[in-house]
Amino acid sequence: MTTPALLPLSGRRIPTLSPGASSFPHHRATLRLSEKFILLLILSAFITLCFGAFFFLPDNSKHKRFDLGLEDVLIPHIDSPKEGKHASGQVVIHGQGGHDEHRHREEEESLRDKIRADHERALQEAKEKLRKSREELQAEIQTEKNKVMEDLKKKDTGPKPLPPVPMPKVAGVSDGEPPEPDVKEKRDKIREMMKHAWDSYRQYGWGHNELKPLAKKGHSTNIFGNSQLGATIVDALDTLYIMGLHEEFRDGQEWIEQNLDFGVNAEVSVFEVNIRFIGGLLAAYYLSGQEVFKLKAVQLAEKLLPAFNTPTGIPWAMVNLKSGVGRNWGWASAGSSILAEFGTLHMEFVHLTYLTGNPAYYQKVMHIRKLLAKMDRPNGLYPNYLNPRTGRWGQHHTSVGGLGDSFYEYLLKAWLMSDKTDTEARKTYDDAIEAIERHLIRKSNGGLTFIGEWKNGHLERKMGHLACFAGGMFALGADGSPDDKAGHYLQLGAEIAHTCHESYDRTVLKLGPEAFKFDSGLEAVAVRQNEKYYILRPEVIETYWYMWRFTHDPKYRQWGWEAAQAIDKYCRVSGGFSGVKDVYSSNPTYDDVQQSFFLAETLKYLYLLFSSDDLMPLESWVFNTEAHPSTDSQLLLDCRHEP
């Protein structure tokens, strides 16, 4: 039996189900549509009958009052000198009272007959409904729902126009061809792999969130709800643009213009749709200048705002895009929100405030930061769980891998995207990294530096693939470190890169496992079967790229090429690319999923690794945790409004 780890499936931050495991079910108590429809119909018929009986059916006393009222209106006017007279002064309505009374009574009788007929017709319709099968009733209900939706679409005048804002200056968004022929050949191979992944999705999974490359059909997980939102399209757009695959980019843009609709009844992960969809759409906008991407990003962001309606302002993990109802993952400690989820919104939300002029986005992420700053932290560490109702920490579990990682990443990148003026973010990052070094980072007996996990006062000597991104983070944050520690953190990044390379090199497939241990004489090796899988993850290659940019040590390109060759050899199938279930087996089983982050992150970082530094220069671009680039323009500083 496969033991499930934590959900949801993601490019980073949350451990996944081991391959082959099913998603956790959504528990909803629902009433069958047919029963609900019949009950409502009978109730409405009953109310209609009561209404008619009370107000319209014959009642002697009521009609006597009506008749008296008629006489009171007509008879006194006979002798009135004020109305109805000719010049002679004679009244002209004499003799018409009886005729008018008869006419009114005929009208009343006609009205009563009509009401009776309507009641009989309603009851007959109810009887007919009761005779119909469940399938017939469901078909009628669906027809009515479709009609209502069409009417709503006709009435919808569209979103309010966004205020005009200057387009931030962008640099290095194309070319980047390396001067060395052998490097160019490797880069061309990465581009061909991207083309194969995209074309396979285009052929077999178009419009679905992801692809099952062996079954050659669409695939999705519960992080996207039950809707086809085209996650792979949105996630891959900026990679296509950077690689110069402009025809494929236009195909994706056309699908988004015509089909991407966030007004669906779907419960989605706030974190995942933020980093993949909002991050992907904003990157596509900044790269191409096409307004549709900005508009779609804002439409989605508005759907996420209800997730923040909690007693503390810490958002729910999930929100229904239609109803705005939020909740947390059932497996999270005591109903808690996850640090890496609510802590990985800052970059995108700052851009949303800039593009919309709405300070709410910036205020909400700053509120999270200020709340965390007031809280006690055990040993200076941030636990992975925080209850959004009480504002208290859940289980004291700290990691730089799943559940925690991108919280620290976004502190550093908040400082970078502010043109290094957000010193509060930088100070928070530095303090957190200092505590992580003190309590989580250790050297193995064999000399490998690793990042363990802190659980209730105990260090677990295990490192996840997700934590391998930290090598790149340490290198990226080296410049600006306190106490002249830039060299120290660049070296720490190199040591993490080396350890993660060893986790790849010590497998049969030369691909890294999901998690690996450093005890009992084993180092950088997975022990449990459900930690031996590789699902096309990018974190190790991400670190190689950052280390290459900062050091130009050729070993990082060599290690990246080893990984690219292994992916192409063991993960490539005719219908795309698939993860594998055991990297220590020479004949691995496929998991039959082409993750959207494979196109967004893994292939993008490989392509940049074999490109020149003037493609997406780090002086001009900051990459979100799904590898979606955004500008660090000075213009963004103007959008920051204190809550």
Cite the annotated binding site for Ca(2+) by residue number: 625
Active-site residue identified among 405, 409, 582, 601: 405
- Which residues contribute to the annotated binding site? 625
Two structure tokens written together for 117: 């007929």
Burial 612-632 (b: 16+ CB within 10 A, else e): beebbebebbbbbbbbbbbbb
d(CA 469, CA 514): 13
d(CA 277, CA 231): 7
Two structure tokens written together for 484: 């002249």
Q: How many CB atoms lie within 10 A of CB 131?
A: 7
Q: Which residues share a beta bridge with 56? A: none
Decide: 342 and 332 in contact? Cβ < 8 Å.
no
- Give the DSSP H or E segment for 449: strand 449-451
Active-site residue identified among 235, 409, 422, 539: 539
To the query of whether residue 514 is one of the catalytic residues in this protein, the response is yes
- What order do you get walking across the sheet with 458-460 strand by strand? 397-398, 453-455, 458-460
Q: State the residue for tokens 């594998």.
A: 580
Two structure tokens written together for 255: 């699908």
Active-site residue identified among 210, 238, 272, 502: 272
Which residues lie closer than 8 Å to 30 by C-beta, 6 or more apart? none
Helices and strands in the chain, H and E counts: 21, 19
Q: State the residue for tokens 């559940």.
A: 403
Q: Which residues share a beta bridge with 515? A: 464
Sequence letter at residue 384:
N
Would you say the C-alpha torsion 396, 400, 406, 410 has a positive or negative sign? positive
Q: State the residue for tokens 């350890």.
A: 499
Cα 427 to Cα 42, 95, 297, 435, distances in angstroms: 65, 98, 30, 13
Active-site residue identified among 210, 514, 542, 591: 514
Cα 522 to Cα 119, 260, 516, 518, 536, distances in angstroms: 81, 48, 9, 6, 24
To the query of whether residue 272 is one of the catalytic residues in this protein, the response is yes
**Which of the residues are catalytic?**
272, 405, 514, 539
